[in-house]
Amino acid sequence: MRNTGLKIILLSLICLLLVFSVDCSKTQKLKIIQVKKTEIPVVNFRVMIFSGSADDQKGKEGLAYFASSMLKKGTQSYSREQLEELLDFLSARIDISVDKQVIVVSGTTLKENLDKFYPLFSEVILKPSFPQEEIEKQKKEQEDGVNMLLQDDGELVKECLQDYIYKDHPYGHPVVGGLSSIKSFTRQDVQDFYNTHFVKDNLVIGLAGDIDENLVEKVRKDFSALKEGKVVHPEGTVQPLKGRKLLLVEKEGRGQTQFCFGHPVSFTRKDEKMFFPLYVANTYFGKHRESFGVLFQTVRTEHGLSYGAYSYIEYFRQAGWSNLASPNIPRREQYFSIWTYPKSINGKFTMKLVLKDLTDLVENGVPKEELERYKNFEINHFPFEIQTPQRKLGLLLDEEFYGNYGFVDNFEKNVKGVSSDQVNSDLKKYIFPDDIAIVAIVSNADDFKKELFSDQTVIEYPSGVDGASLKEGDDKVKAFDLKIKPEDVSVVKVSELFK
Amino acid sequence: MSKKQSFKVNMFSSLLLVLIPLFSLLAQELKLDIKKNVLDNGLTILTCEDKSAPTVSYMTFINAGSREEKPGITGLAHIFEHMMFRGTKEYPDFDKAITSFGAQTNASTGEDYTSYFVNVKKDYLEKIIPIEADRVRNLVFTNEAFRMEMGPVKEERRRGVVDDPDGFIWDELVQTAYQVHPYHHPVIGFEEDLEKNIQVQDGLDFKRNFYSPGYTTIVLTGNFDTPKALELIKKYYGDWQKTPPPDLNIPAEPKQTKERVKNYVWKDSEISPKLLIAFHGPNFEIKDDDFCALELAARILFMSSGRLTKKLYNDLQLVEYISGGMGDRKDPGLFEISTSLKRGKSIDEAKPLILEELEKLKNEPVSERELEKAKNSVKAEMIYRMDNPLSVAYTIGHFQTAGGDYNLLFEIQKKYSEVTPEMIQQVARKYFNPENRTVLTLLPKK
């Protein structure tokens, strides 16, 4: 009896251990990042899936975007129409964003509606139904996305630069794909993409705002229903650029020339030793929407050539109408870029001015006395990066992607630790003014080329700018060698893009 | 937002349309404790503390925008916005003065007011108050500085209007819908005014009239102590001389008596056909209930599950997007509908369907659920906006300047909650009439 009893106890213990260990393995794989702030009765969800347009197969460009967009187009319990009606009624949102390497499904609701909202949010991710009639509609909607990209010169020039520098790499097509690939998508493609990529090991969950343990546990339990699976992402090699290359995108009637300059870089924010020195250097040189940058000062303040001139050391998307970067667009490959948009007649001069500024930066570095000022700027500016729970959550999720845990907590320390020597040597090591691609949207490519290869560099000063006082400096700009030969120039008509 | 961040200025009001007009529902529930102080010189100070924030937002609202401009000097309010970043005698380099504080700064110009913000960590508030006071009081408006700023302004216009089909058609819309009132001209101004007409004396007059204490409101939100902040504000603004209010004589827009239609062709073939429809509506002072009823009507039409979105975007797949709303202006604004058609679809297909839905609003009461949904969205938007000091400051300042009193922020929710299906019908009948309508189309080049 005693033995039997012991056996039963031991058996029960083994069973319990088995059950517990199964549970543990599930919970270990399902990571939930939390940022609690209860002052505002709002709850934010973010589910980051570590797949994106870089996972699109050849001929199926845009599928990651397509399949992700389909999540909101119907679930096992709700049609698209019902979902939209319920979300509007709750004044809640579910948004889906897709980039090269992540898909983010985010949700926002008032705390008072959480019980009604959460079943919708979880079902969108866990039980999408991909109705056939919505597949056809989504094709049209995604084609609109391609067309809208063609209409907005600012977005177009940035997209063309990426396509150019990542040619033959999984990053080398727009996230929305091309018009012909979109037409080819089937319901099976969508289902396959979902089955492959929406698996437990390939995502991280974030919760922010007025959250509590009950919610965390519920999410953990529900999302544990996702299948397990290992995702194999396509590999690719980014080819470094050799020399200066110019791509002219021809679009008639432009009053301005949108320019984007850039080249791939061999670091990301995971490589903190390079990232922080170059982050501060970029703040000094051309931080987005800041008027103190060197580029802004020379291009806009001194010459009045363009409304803006900015530089970036990683892919950048502006967050709403703030000056801040959107979180949750992490990439394993990054690129350096510059964006400006002068009046067409001043295009060649502006090209020279920008490249000269960049060359000077790399050659001369950031002046020591200035460096402290820009380090202080970043240290004191960082609270804005994390001032809302959703922004902080976004950055913490990015840590999960990069594996650079402590990026947020150690930001101040890392910026403080940046030295002048590091900045100046890293600029030389990682930024290449001579090996850079330039994309320009121009009315007429032949006219632009003619001007480019003529001996003259025209500048039409705005009425208030005293050209005489700038003459000495501007003569040096005019004399700057663009080092672009006719064979370095390629031309594409806007109507030929993203087919 | 023209120092650095260009909201397409002509689109600025549309953005507000979506984000700003409808606060207040839960303002009291959120315990917004707004305190108002007015200095002897007329400067208004509104403070709202939030000790949970690590930062403060310091906003300066000048109660003058393009509405205060006269023909020939269009774009002047916006130029001032640019000039405010060019430095003063005391702080010749504004950027240098504030860079080490890590400040977020920007500004925007609209039809009714111009606003500036500087956000900093709470420790730096006392450093930025003297800088902000100095630039609003001692702005240097010389011919040289003014002409220097013309280049970027013209490039801003080129980007937002000349090369941007949406910006272009919005500019044309206001010029068509308003014939007399200064809302007729775009905030960024007409090119000939920017190029030739505006003289330095115009700038000096504008400065004397509007960059004055009586036309200025400071809104301070976030983590600070009100008494200490007030002391500093008094120190740096207290001796700012009051100036007599200008004689504005802003002409009222006469009642429109006939439909206005304009059709344009864009300079390239890459755009989708665009259609704008606008009706003259009420102003934002909420003296009657029309504003709230029209804004709720807009939501019933244009939310994701709204009638027109559902029909034109989801069901028929005629449009790339459709949106609309009631502009919240000091003087009567426009109820605007904007849509972009899918390639190959015709405006003639979409327009009758839009007008048909407007007619339905006149003839049949909206359902209780539709109305409740619209009211819910008003309430939620307010709460969602409360998550950072800048957004709170902007909200308070907007109600104070465009609405005339920050208390509207609390009162408007009551107005929204009282809107009935019958009131939606009444405003539809009152405003959605052909003689009150302006229609613009923009087609791609063939």
Testing the interface with B: which of A95, A133, A135, A151 to mutate, by most B Cβ within 10 A? A151
Testing the interface with A: which of B4, B154, B272, B367 to mutate, by most A Cβ within 10 A? B4
Least-confidence region, from A204-218, A284-298, B134-148, B290-304: B134-148
Count CB-CB contacts under 10 A for residue B55.
Answer: 26
Provide the pLDDT confidence category of residue B88 given band limits of 50, 70 and 90: very high
Provide the pLDDT confidence category of residue A169 given band limits of 50, 70 and 90: very high
pLDDT digits (tens, 9 = 90+) for A315-349: 999 998 788 999 999 999 999 999 999 999 999 99
| pLDDT score at B151 | 83
Predicted confidence (pLDDT) at residue B19 exceeds the cutoff of 70: no
> pTM of the entire structure?
0.91
8 A C-beta contact, residue B410 and residue B251: no
| pLDDT score at B140 | 85
Dist. CA B35–CA B45, nearest whole Å: 8
CA distances from B307 to A120, B300, B357 (A): 22, 6, 8
Partner-chain contact A304 B150, CB within 8 Å: yes
Selecting from B99, B162, B320 the residue whose C-beta is nearest the C-beta of A377 gives B99
CA distances from A276 to A374, A378, A453, A466 (A): 12, 10, 39, 38
Measured in angstroms, the CA of B117 and the nearest CA of chain A are apart by 12
Same fold, A30-223 and A245-496: yes
Residues of A in contact with B271 (CB under 8 A): 151
Gyration radius from chain A CA atoms: 26
A vs B: CB pairs below 8 A? 197
Summarize the confidence of residues A248-265 as an average pLDDT: 96
Measured in angstroms, the CA of B213 and the nearest CA of chain A are apart by 27
CB-hemisphere CA count at 13 Å for A109? 22
The tokens describing B114, both together, are: 């111009």
8 A C-beta contact, residue B205 and residue B198: no
Dist. CA A141–CA B313, nearest whole Å: 9
Selecting from B2, B95, B101 the residue whose C-beta is nearest the C-beta of A380 gives B101
Measured in angstroms, the CA of A23 and the nearest CA of chain B are apart by 36
Structural domains in chain B, sorted by start: 9-237 (3.30.830.10), 260-443 (3.30.830.10)
Angle between helices A80-90 and A114-126 (to 10 degrees): 150
Residues 6+ apart with CB under 8 A from B216: B43, B44, B60, B61, B62, B63, B136
Residues 6+ apart with CB under 8 A from B374: B296, B297, B299, B300, B303
Residues of B in contact with A376 (CB under 8 A): 99-102
The tokens describing A381, both together, are: 């500016």
**Residue of chain B minimizing CA distance to A133:** B315
Beta-bridged to residue B255, according to DSSP, are: none
Question: Between B31 and A170, whose confidence is greater?
Answer: A170
pLDDT digits (tens, 9 = 90+) for B250-291: 999 999 999 999 999 999 898 999 999 999 999 987 667 899
8 A C-beta contact, residue B103 and residue B161: no
pLDDT digits (tens, 9 = 90+) for B164-191: 999 999 999 999 999 999 999 999 999 8
Residues of A in contact with B120 (CB under 8 A): 380
Partner-chain contact A41 B383, CB within 8 Å: yes
Partner-chain contact A300 B152, CB within 8 Å: yes
Residues of A in contact with B99 (CB under 8 A): 292, 373-374, 376-377
Amino acid at B340: S
| pLDDT score at B4 | 34
**In 3-state terms, what secondary structure has residue B105?**
strand
Partner-chain contact B342 A140, CB within 8 Å: yes
The DSSP element (H or E) to which B293 belongs, if any, is helix B290-302
Measured in angstroms, the CA of A342 and the nearest CA of chain B are apart by 7
Partner-chain contact A292 B95, CB within 8 Å: yes
Residues 6+ apart with CB under 8 A from B359: B432
Residues of A in contact with B100 (CB under 8 A): 373, 376-377, 380
Testing the interface with A: which of B32, B148, B192, B375 to mutate, by most A Cβ within 10 A? B148
Measured in angstroms, the CA of B103 and the nearest CA of chain A are apart by 6
Measured in angstroms, the CA of B381 and the nearest CA of chain A are apart by 8
Testing the interface with A: which of B314, B322, B387 to mutate, by most A Cβ within 10 A? B387
pLDDT digits (tens, 9 = 90+) for B114-158: 999 999 999 999 999 999 999 999 988 888 888 888 888 888 998
Provide the pLDDT confidence category of residue A366 given band limits of 50, 70 and 90: very high
Beta strand pairing call for A334-342 and B44-49: unpaired
Partner-chain contact B163 A144, CB within 8 Å: no
Selecting from A147, A151, A322 the residue whose C-beta is nearest the C-beta of B165 gives A151
Beta strand pairing call for B55-62 and B114-121: antiparallel
Measured in angstroms, the CA of B62 and the nearest CA of chain A are apart by 21
Measured in angstroms, the CA of A178 and the nearest CA of chain B are apart by 15
pLDDT digits (tens, 9 = 90+) for B372-390: 999 999 989 988 988 899 9
Per cent of chain B over pLDDT 70 is 92
Dist. CA B138–CA B207, nearest whole Å: 10
CA distances from A52 to A182, A263, A353, A397, B263 (A): 16, 22, 36, 15, 42
Q: What ipTM goes with this model?
A: 0.90
CATH of domain A245-496: 3.30.830.10
Provide the pLDDT confidence category of residue B219 given band limits of 50, 70 and 90: very high
Selecting from B7, B106, B372 the residue whose C-beta is nearest the C-beta of A323 gives B106
The DSSP element (H or E) to which B394 belongs, if any, is helix B389-401
| pLDDT score at B2 | 37
Report how far apart the first and last C-alpha atoms of chain A are (Å, whole number): 78
**How far from the centroid of its chain's Cα atoms is residue B226's Cα?**
28
Residues of A in contact with B159 (CB under 8 A): 154, 256, 307, 341
Residue ranges of the domains in chain A? 30-223, 245-496
Taking CB atoms within 8 Å and a gap of at least 24, the contacts of A4-9 are none
pLDDT digits (tens, 9 = 90+) for B316-357: 999 999 999 999 999 999 999 999 999 889 999 999 999 999
Residues of A in contact with B268 (CB under 8 A): 251-253, 494
The DSSP element (H or E) to which B334 belongs, if any, is strand B334-341
Testing the interface with B: which of A291, A346, A366 to mutate, by most B Cβ within 10 A? A291
Predicted confidence (pLDDT) at residue A479 exceeds the cutoff of 70: yes
Testing the interface with B: which of A120, A144, A374 to mutate, by most B Cβ within 10 A? A144
Testing the interface with A: which of B91, B158, B340 to mutate, by most A Cβ within 10 A? B158
Residues of A in contact with B146 (CB under 8 A): 464
| pLDDT score at B29 | 64
Residues of B in contact with A87 (CB under 8 A): 304-305
Residues of A in contact with B87 (CB under 8 A): none
The DSSP element (H or E) to which B207 belongs, if any, is helix B200-210
Summarize the confidence of residues A408-424 as an average pLDDT: 98
Measured in angstroms, the CA of A240 and the nearest CA of chain B are apart by 32
**Residue of chain A minimizing CA distance to B311:** A81
Dist. CA B226–CA B37, nearest whole Å: 10
Measured in angstroms, the CA of A37 and the nearest CA of chain B are apart by 9
The tokens describing A42, both together, are: 């709002």
Q: Report the mean per-residue pLDDT for chain B.
A: 91
Measured in angstroms, the CA of A32 and the nearest CA of chain B are apart by 22
**Residue of chain A minimizing CA distance to B378:** A91
Predicted confidence (pLDDT) at residue A260 exceeds the cutoff of 50: yes
Least-confidence region, from B4-8, B234-238, B260-264, B421-425: B4-8
The tokens describing A250, both together, are: 């021809």
8 A C-beta contact, residue A203 and residue A50: yes
Dist. CA B442–CA B338, nearest whole Å: 11
Residues of B in contact with A255 (CB under 8 A): 158, 162-163
Selecting from B155, B162, B343 the residue whose C-beta is nearest the C-beta of A306 gives B155
**How far from the centroid of its chain's Cα atoms is residue A261's Cα?**
17
Query: Can you name the CATH fold of A30-223?
Result: Cytochrome Bc1 Complex; Chain A, domain 1 (3.30.830)
Per cent of chain A over pLDDT 90 is 90
Selecting from B147, B155, B380 the residue whose C-beta is nearest the C-beta of A464 gives B147
Partner-chain contact A147 B165, CB within 8 Å: no
Dist. CA B233–CA B223, nearest whole Å: 16
Partner-chain contact B377 A91, CB within 8 Å: yes
Residues of A in contact with B50 (CB under 8 A): 39
Selecting from A84, A254, A290 the residue whose C-beta is nearest the C-beta of B163 gives A254
Closest CA to A31 of A197, A203, A195, A194: A203
Q: In what order do the strands lie in the sheet with B114-121?
A: B34-38, B44-49, B216-222, B55-62, B114-121, B104-109
Closest CA to B307 of A196, A81, A3: A81
Closest CA to B430 of B332, B328, B309: B332
**Residue of chain A minimizing CA distance to B164:** A152
Q: Report the mean per-residue pLDDT for chain A.
A: 93
Partner-chain contact B150 A462, CB within 8 Å: yes
The DSSP element (H or E) to which B145 belongs, if any, is helix B143-148
Residues 6+ apart with CB under 8 A from A477: A349, A352, A353, A356, A457
CA distances from A210 to A52, A110, A461, B23, B387 (A): 30, 9, 54, 21, 12
pLDDT digits (tens, 9 = 90+) for A51-60: 999 999 999 9
